[in-house]
Structure 1
């Protein structure tokens, strides 16, 4: 009897076949005496479209939404029919008594295998092969440790929950938003659980830069000469620091130094140890490569890393972990021994098992990315970039810790202190791996008590700078941690603190390592952001989405982080799929209602010079004439005959509620007699929901707003 092994891709199927020494190739599979190996092409099945459930959904109409299927169904992708039939036929063979799912060990890989197998309706037992790399040794080792696929039910539940949730939110909110706002945008909109909070991160940084007010400050520098004729500079410093607002006081102090003597009051040397940066997880690898190489995107890094993984050269790339499992110590030592051969600093490499490298608390599902014991040969230029980055970061962990001396000199002029800092690299250590140049600052040989000669003093005017725009590197880090305890900068390479690591590994993030790059790419494709060099910035379309789209919870990093953590917890079997899907279903219904009913948040036309049309917005409730838009309000076209009906654009009552009327507001008002918003703001700054009617005053011909908390329309 034989077992059918289903791999996620043809390249992985070939790796398994190589390990099992299976060479007979058929149409869509490889066959040996004990195993038949076939493959998917990623997802072979996809969720039904809305119109597949109900033919009425073929045309987008507001009344069709929210649309919540009773059960979610799958259909074959058009280009997957042949391979699905191959898999079904193989599993149905009389000489096949079992199935092995060998798809990637993550929630997407789990559902690719599970849904494909369920589609065959075979009922034969299913086992699971769980691997972190596809080298022959690991494949053979994994085949000896197969587990029942039933044990993977929580991971499968997490996968389908992610799929179903994104379908519900995407289909419903994208459809309703496009129906309502397409005229303003001139194109279909995209609404997504991961897309919008990522857009908000970029928007917030853009706004921070625009609102930044530069402040001027002053610093005083002194130049001194030692007894041996060597010069050095120092910065005037007090207990409050070395930046000063009062330039007049600095000038007075500077003048007082005329003819003064100076003395070295202190000279201290402190030895500093520099540990190598952590092993790469996917976000770290993407950030590193995109920041070092022109023209690279995070999506490109993932694709190249995936190629190296399928070529058996690196371990699983879609990982959030920053360390290796303790069980990998022996294997890691073997890999290190292979890769250190021939290196000019090989004699300095020493294997160790310290927690900087081996730490189960920093591992979730998959360990950090490292090379395998196979040497990369014949690589493309792109593959070399990613492979060398992974290999070098791995080797760094076992090189000596870099050390430098930090020299601090204090020079007194009268009672004023000038600070000078120097730096001398003592041990290059791991810096040698990537030939990182030390920024040494050499000082004269000074000793406490030395007299030095002041050469001159100058006052420099400086200004504070706004934060830098996000790059893919900094954006990925904020997505990875939901912004917790992290203020991103382009040159940040330091270690993460324990809370950040815990957030990453618990799943509290925006998206997953596998989806973040795709999200950034999609934001560019749909026109919400654009790249200028390495910098990312919102387009006008993106800004309008953030500012006016009524479902503001979709922009909330905390809210999105909790949803992603819930998916992670489903995979750990700590919360149920049904509870999560009820939350998503309720949210979707409320969000659709908010978009439909909120007449105050309509995204206006983005064409700045488009001429206003005098379209009728409805009939005047006083005289029945057309109500049209004017420069200052929406009023009755019969105003010349004395009709007083008008809704002012700068209406003070509405301004106090932090909303502004527009054409859709007036259309809704004239059509139904009332308007609704869930974005009214009270005096405390709190959002609330209410209905407004526009009633004619009893003592004059003008109108006033009346508020209620339930609809008066029956």
Structure 2
């Protein structure tokens, strides 16, 4: 008997529907002739607690840290024992097994750890399903591979699970016990991803709190040229009192120049005119979709993930959603016209966009070299019944369909002009843009980035019609939102100080994974470290205090992002899981030596005294870890308050 083990019931049903013959459903399985399909319910197993290795470690004690198992153990989750018994019985009868976990690192771990825990020793094949529609599943069933080819992926997933356990258990116990010494009666959860994410928010909140605004003074001129007028902005030279962004911070030079400018004549000294082509945005990965859905529809990252799971499992309208890829297989190109035509048939806007698409156009999105275990999110071709979708499900489906449709539209073609005028020996700059062909742009927005300039000729004369000096004020950085935090986690290298590490991280997947980023944010909220204030994510007093007390290395992204890089190397068979764990244990020993009750007490007291900080939330006790220069120049990272943009 062949036994297929799916990651979840929805996948099991899709596989059973794609098998020949009639299906007979029983408790925990579906019988299809000589094949039995069963399923996991997410993870059926979890890492055993510390006391499973040594009963002494049931009590939390600093002198027992670090806890490092010699022979790792898994234990069934309490609610999973029934389904685990079903799989155990089937494996005893199986002639061979098909592993049908999701096509990613975690999916490989989830099913294979069950197979190994139940000590099955027969042949195992691998089924990769990224689209629950019947034709796609039938195709996948005809392309089974040996599970042996996926062992590096399994080792990477196993190394990740064990490393998370080591990091979370040991650091959570250490700082919780230190917290008790400091007078805090609660669990201080530390995790290898959640804590750096919290650190990002705390440092942003601190920058906002500590920001001191100051004024700056852009000077504009309305210039007459041969074929019209335009507005340009003074570009003061380095001899003027400027901040680090080239903004004038003393009004006197601007006022003095403004008095001399009316009626003054000059010439167009520099002219840069060029046509630019911009291809459509690629289809979505999950994180890219979460960013756009948050901005356009105000959805949290977790809401987008949950919606995508329903669109994938319940409605079967989209392909596998937890993807980090923004490219599509080349083999899908020929059938995409039919897929999109059917998928978009019940929405007026999508249907019109589909009619206007040129399905002979092949964008760079079709690239097998960029597709790994997953491809970008795309419609499956099943017609979307919007009467059965919630409003938010409809919004998310339309975004996914739109980005794939955009691949069949021509590039956006613009004519961009940058001009620099020389008047009274000073430089004044203007820029404009005219749209030659909107291409894909109307699917996204009709807003122009910059108005067009009148026709210009290099060295042509000009004269000043009017001028003025504005008073603006720098603004602090914006607090993080779901959209900006997900984007920060995707592009974590921007938040790394070390230039060597930053270069290393530029091409990695960032902080967390597509499947975990939304959950990390929600975990921080649930544990009382973050609160949502309208769309903003702000650190609570407790979250702020924890980051202040932890070693900086724990709350910055370098370590965990490098973890992901090394786990990727293990998955590619370029690194060793045991060496990775040994390096982590050495790291843990160094971090544990830095726990300081006095520092933590001071941090908690300081955070409690902050005016305007969100109130501390109670934390449930847990027994396991959580997965300006002086003088003329001044420096500031502040932004300009509202007003016309000043070109740099």
Q: 1:127 to 1:67 in 2, by over 3 A?
A: same
Q: 1:428 to 1:48 in 2, by over 3 A?
A: same
> Residues 516 and 168 of structure 1: is their aligned pair in 2 closer, same or farther, counting only changes over 3 Å?
same
- Is 2:456 the counterpart of 1:477? no
Cα distance between partner residues in 1 of 2:166 and 2:484: 30
Tell me which of 163, 166, 177 is aligned to 1:165: 163
Cα deviation, residue 545, structure 1: 1.8
Give, in angstroms, the shift of residue 383 of structure 1.
Answer: 1.6
How is 1:69-88 mapped onto 2 (pairs within 5 angstroms)? 69-88=69-88
Kindly report which structure 2 residues correspond to 1:341-420, keeping only aligned pairs within 5 A, or say none: 343-346=351-354, 348-351=356-359, 356-377=364-385, 378-407=388-417, 418-420=428-430
Q: Which residue of structure 1 lines up, in the alignment, with residue 13 of structure 2?
A: 14
Question: Where do 1:313-712 residues align within 5 Å?
Answer: 313-332=317-336, 334-336=338-340, 338-339=342-343, 343-346=351-354, 348-351=356-359, 356-377=364-385, 378-407=388-417, 418-439=428-449, 441=451, 454-484=464-494, 503=505, 506-507=508-509, 509-550=510-551, 552-595=552-595, 598=596, 601-604=599-602, 606=604
1:190-339 equivalence runs, <5 A: 190-223=189-222, 232-237=230-235, 243-258=247-262, 260=264, 270-294=274-298, 296-310=299-313, 311-332=315-336, 334-336=338-340, 338-339=342-343
**How far off is 1:589 after superposition?**
3.7
Distance 1:419 1:561, change over 3 A: closer
**SS of the residue 1:429 aligns to:** coil
Q: Structure 1 residues 36 and 422 mapped into 2: Cα distance closer, same or farther (>3 Å)?
A: same
1:213/1:31 Cα in 2 relative to 1: closer, same or farther (>3 Å)?
same
Note closer, same or farther for the CA distance 1:178–1:411 as it changes in structure 2 (3 Å cut).
closer
Please list, as runs of the form range in 1=range in 2, the aligned pairs for 1:30-45 lying within 5 A after superposition. Answer: 30-45=30-45
Deviation larger for 515-524 or 51-60: 51-60
Tell me the secondary structure at the aligned position of residue 351 of structure 2. Answer: coil
CA distance in 1, matches of 2:96, 2:603: 59
CA distance in 1, matches of 2:462, 2:166: 74
Q: TM-score scaled to structure 1, two decimals?
A: 0.75
Conservation of the 8 A alpha-carbon contact between 2:7 and 2:102: yes
3-state secondary structure, aligned to 1:71: coil
Shift of 1:413: 5.3
For structure 2, list consecutive stretches of 5 or more residues without a partner in the other structure.
239-244, 610-648
Measured in 2, the distance between the counterparts of 1:371 and 1:451 equals: 56
* 2:200/2:556 contact within 8 Å kept: no
User: Aligned pair 1:23/2:23, yes or no?
Assistant: yes
**Partners of 1:592 and 1:447 in 2: CA distance:** 68
The whole-number CA distance in structure 2 between the counterparts of 1:122 and 1:246 is: 77
- 1:629 match: none
* Number of matched pairs: 591
CA distance in structure 2 between the partners assigned to 1:514 and 1:123 by the alignment? 30
Cα distance, 1:503–1:415 mapped onto 2, change above 3 Å: closer
* C-alpha displacement of 1:506: 4.5
1:189 deviation in Å?
A: 0.7
Pairing 1:151–2:149 present: yes
Please report how far the alpha carbon of residue 100 of structure 1 lies from its aligned counterpart in structure 2 after TM superposition. Answer: 1.0
> 1:389–1:207: structure 2 CA closer, same or farther, 3 Å change rule?
same
Distance 2:420 2:113 in 1: 70
Partner Cα distance (1:43, 1:321) in 2: 24
Q: Distance in 1 between matches of 2:336 and 2:503?
A: 22
TM-score normalised to the size of structure 2?
0.82
Which piece of structure 1 moves more, 258-267 or 139-148?
258-267
Rounded Cα–Cα distance in structure 2 between residues aligned with 1:372 and 1:57: 50
d(CA) in 1 for partners of 2:287 and 2:366?
19
Higher Rg: 1
Q: Matched residues in 1 for 2:582 and 2:562: separation?
A: 15
How well do the aligned residues superpose, as a CA RMSD in angstroms? Answer: 3.3
The whole-number CA distance in structure 2 between the counterparts of 1:594 and 1:470 is 29
Taking the TM superposition and a 5 Å limit, the aligned residue runs for 1:107-122 are: 107-122=105-120
Q: Which has the higher contact order (CA 8 A, sep 6+)?
A: 2
Q: CA offset at residue 443 of structure 1?
A: 5.3
For the residue of structure 1 that corresponds to 2:33, the secondary structure is coil
Retained in 1: the 8 A contact 2:204–2:479? yes
Gaps of 5+ in 1: 488-498, 612-714
1:512-546 alpha-carbon deviations (Å, 9 max, x no partner) = 21112111111222222222222223222222222
Structure 1 residue aligned with 2:58: 58
Is the alpha carbon distance of 1:255 and 1:610 closer, same or farther for their aligned partners in structure 2, counting shifts above 3 Å? closer
Q: Tell me which residue corresponds to 1:46.
A: 46
Question: How far 1:357 moved relative to its partner?
Answer: 0.9
SS of the aligned residue for 2:96 comes to strand
SS at structure 2 position matched to 1:157: helix
**More deviation in 400-409 or 390-399?**
400-409
**Matching residue of 1:494:** none
Q: Deviations over 1:268-299 (max 9, x none)?
A: 754332322222112111111112222x2112
Note if contact 1:45-1:75 (Cα within 8 Å) is conserved in structure 2.
yes
Contact 1:336 1:351 in 2 (8 A): no
In the TM superposition, residue 439 of structure 1 has moved relative to its aligned partner by 4.7
